[in-house]
Structure 1
Amino acid sequence: MRQVGRYRMRRVLGSGAFATVWLAEDPALEAHVAIKVLAENWANNADVRERFLAEARLLRRVDDPRLVRVFDVGVSDDDEARPYFVMEYIPGGTLDDRISSLSTREALAYGVAAAEAVQVLHDAGVVHRDVKPSNLLIDDRSTPPRLLISDLGSAKVLAESSGFTVTTGTPIYMAPEQIHQTDGFDGRADVYAVAAVTYHLLNGQPAFQDHTAAAVRDRRTDSRPPPLAARLGQPAALDRLLTRSLSWNPAKRPATAADFARELERFLTGDPHRPGREVPTVPTLVFCVVLAAVLFAVTYLWLSR
């Protein structure tokens, strides 16, 4: 493919079962853009075509700086007549490209940014269903770099409209309920995925080595990710947050992506050794009560002299 509309195709940025994303030039604006083109073998499926363009309309409707902007839609004027949509080109690559070089602080910041971006989708009534580092773009033209979601998990929607029976998502980031339920899961599945991404960013390795849907299905329901906070110089509260967020049971996770973002952000904004305010343990409370009683008694006796 050399050209669609006025756009001159340069090279492939990524491809999947239903679409290919190209780097292209817009000669009218003298700028680079990214163009997502429906795969040729689905071009004649009316339902798939409509669902494909629905992603562009949604990105345009939400119009948030944490989502990639859409500029144009169209249909190629060759014999294939494939629908496409034109997006802003983000030159910084994906978060997947940076995992091995991130500091702990950068990993935490990107985890917060990913959760906030996912919350934007949830507020628009969309569950992403495939949050992963390769779907998170980094715009390094700003300081600090800006994170954007580049894909709305459209492969699942397209597969459904094509008549395929598929399991959603990428196994190492996939919430277990996406394996056991073909539908009916909610935004907490995305909370799990964001937590799995955050763990991978912090650790350099995924929380669970489940590279197939079958491995996710067979994992023990009481499985916990290996602790990493102590090695990173972080408090144990970080391990507790990630363990809750990666729980097999959605009810144990933070209720929303925004809640996860707020909890994770404590590790960026608070004392590095004790982010946020933790609930005191019972022995600590007993000690405080006894100490207060002793101080009160001493003060009372002194004043009674």
Structure 2
Amino acid sequence: MKKKRYAAASIDHLIRCGITALAEETNKQKSSDPSRVQRLGDFELKKKLGKGGMGEVFLARQISLDRMVALKTLSKELAKKGDFVARFEREAKSMAKIDHPNVVKIYAVDSFKGIHFAAIEYIDGQSIQKWLDHLGRFSVADAVFVAIVSAEALKHAHSQNMVHRDIKPDNILVTQKGIVKVADFGLAKAMDEEVSMTQSGTGLGTPLYMAPEQARNAKHVDERVDIYALGATLYHLLTGKLPFLGNTALELILAKETGTYPTARSVRPEIAERLDLIIDKMMAKDPNHRYKNCDEVVRDLSALGLHGEALSFIDGAQPTGPGRGGVATPSVLGGTQGFRKTAGATQLPGSSTLGSMSDAAMGASRIWYVQFEDERGKTVVEKHSTGRLLKMLASGKITAKARAKVSADGTYYPLAQFPEFAKAVEDSLARKTVAIRKEDMQSL
């Protein structure tokens, strides 16, 4: 009888121990799952923002400083890899050294009850990719603006020996005030190295913007991979299309190895030839044929004078330039050399002397240098007012192929790139299309 009681007690003890162990294991699992906790150390989780290849992202409040942050957590799989965790923390600390108005800041890197995370600046806006999905493609002014600001941010990071490795529209963010911010510097590098060490070339994900040499060996790259990716991003913003396509990652990588893709200008003819050439140089297959650094990229893009002072698709975006704090340095906007948005006109390269004129004076009375082909096919240059040029477009004396500038030493740009003539050029092209269709109908 005693033996039976003892056996029953032993079984009961084992069951209780098993239940306790199971509960402890369950609690342990819950504690390592950020979606089941409300607080990670100094950070109070508010809501889940999304999930990426590295883990989940949460909106959180940093209690000690009473500020909102984005909390990026490592997935359970990555958290089990000690080498990756160490690399993640090391890269996050390196990223914290980057202090630039167009780079998303990192505030902390820590772990709490087995959950590893990084707290970064929360951006109250959305990615360039989401804007691209919405708009289809960007205006030339907006696309070049984003490229220049991103290149300035990259230039600063490169000076700190940081290579991003994952520049793409998803990693370029825009605040509600229209400030462009490059995100995920060190974190992208840590993830890239992990992928390259654990997967083959066919498992790298979809390297849509990745430089060919990075696809071959992600560990041994330099700042030129960021220049390539930024060039591919600029191409996508301008054309609404990707330069290379493939049904699989491997097909895409092989396509890039050819180095051949449709030029941006062939997809969108209004793109200036010089801008097209800059993109080609940024995306050269051989790194030695690319720009050596982002300073060169900023210089050449700024010299075009095609960028705006603010993103046109952001309501209430404040013009950003020297001393305004929205974009970094004066080199971004090249002083007065870019498009300057005003209530009634656009200031163009070489036109800084017109800055004090009233909007009315800069309207129909503005004098332009216009370059076009006459009836004999000869290229001529004449000076006309805005009103006169509009009449010439309407009468067909000049076509949409005409180019203009506002000063003798300025640069010629297609009429369609000036707000004063955009509608007239569109009407001219429409009339030409109708005329061609009539001729086709008459020939039937």
* Residues 188-240 of structure 1: CA deviation (Å, up to 9, x unaligned): 11111000001111111112224643123322624133332894634211111
Q: Is the 8 A contact 1:135 1:151 kept in 2?
A: no
TM-score, normalized by length of structure 1? 0.78
* Residues 26-54 of structure 1: CA deviation (Å, up to 9, x unaligned): 34444321011111223232212111112
Distance 1:217 1:274 in 2: 41
Verify: 1:242 aligned to 2:279, yes or no. yes
Give 2:183's match in structure 1, choosing from 132, 145, 149.
Answer: 149
Q: Is the 8 A contact 1:136 1:149 kept in 2?
A: yes
Verify: 1:205 aligned to 2:241, yes or no. yes
* Residues 126-146 of structure 1: CA deviation (Å, up to 9, x unaligned): 2221111111121233xx523
Alignment-derived partner of residue 115 in structure 1 = 151
Verify: 1:136 aligned to 2:169, yes or no. no
Verify: 1:185 aligned to 2:221, yes or no. yes
**1:8-157 correspondence to structure 2 within 5 Å:** 8-77=44-113, 81-99=114-132, 100-101=134-135, 102-141=138-177, 144-152=178-186, 153=188, 154-157=190-193
Q: Is the 8 A contact 1:6 1:27 kept in 2?
A: yes
Deviation at 1:74, TM superposition (A): 2.3
Q: Is the 8 A contact 1:73 1:86 kept in 2?
A: yes
Alignment-derived partner of residue 4 in structure 1 = 40
Amino acid at match of 2:105: R
Deviates more, 1:223-232 or 1:203-212: 223-232
- Matched-pair identity in %: 28
Amino acid at match of 1:86: A
Q: Secondary structure at the match of 2:220?
A: coil
Alignment-derived partner of residue 429 in structure 2 = none
Distance 2:49 2:200 in 1: 24
Amino acid at match of 1:186: D
Deviation at 1:111, TM superposition (A): 0.9
Distance 1:248 1:258 in 2: 20
Give 1:165's match in structure 2, choosing from 194, 199, 205.
Answer: 199
Distance 1:107 1:211 in 2: 27
Q: Is the 8 A contact 1:117 1:148 kept in 2?
A: yes
TM-score, normalized by length of structure 2? 0.55
Query: Which structure has more RCO (C-alpha within 8 Å, separation ≥ 6)?
Result: 1
Deviation at 1:184, TM superposition (A): 2.8
Deviation at 1:151, TM superposition (A): 3.9
Verify: 1:262 aligned to 2:299, yes or no. yes
* Residues 90-135 of structure 1: CA deviation (Å, up to 9, x unaligned): 0111111111433221111001111121222211112221111111
Distance 1:72 1:126, change over 3 A: closer
Q: Secondary structure at the match of 1:93?
A: strand
Distance 1:245 1:92 in 2: 28
Higher Rg of the two aligned structures: 2
Q: Is the 8 A contact 2:54 2:78 kept in 1?
A: yes
Verify: 1:223 aligned to 2:260, yes or no. yes
Distance 1:148 1:18, change over 3 A: closer
Q: Is the 8 A contact 2:109 2:118 kept in 1?
A: yes
Distance 2:148 2:131 in 1: 16
Distance 1:204 1:223 in 2: 18
Q: Secondary structure at the match of 1:172?
A: coil
Distance 2:258 2:227 in 1: 17
Distance 2:74 2:193 in 1: 13
Q: Is the 8 A contact 1:171 1:211 kept in 2?
A: no
Q: Secondary structure at the match of 2:198?
A: coil
Q: Is the 8 A contact 1:244 1:253 kept in 2?
A: yes
How many residues were matched structurally? 271
Distance 1:159 1:209, change over 3 A: closer
Q: Secondary structure at the match of 1:105?
A: helix
Distance 1:263 1:209 in 2: 28
Deviation at 1:147, TM superposition (A): 2.4
Deviates more, 1:225-234 or 1:15-24: 225-234
CA RMSD of aligned residues (A): 2.8
Amino acid at match of 1:197: T
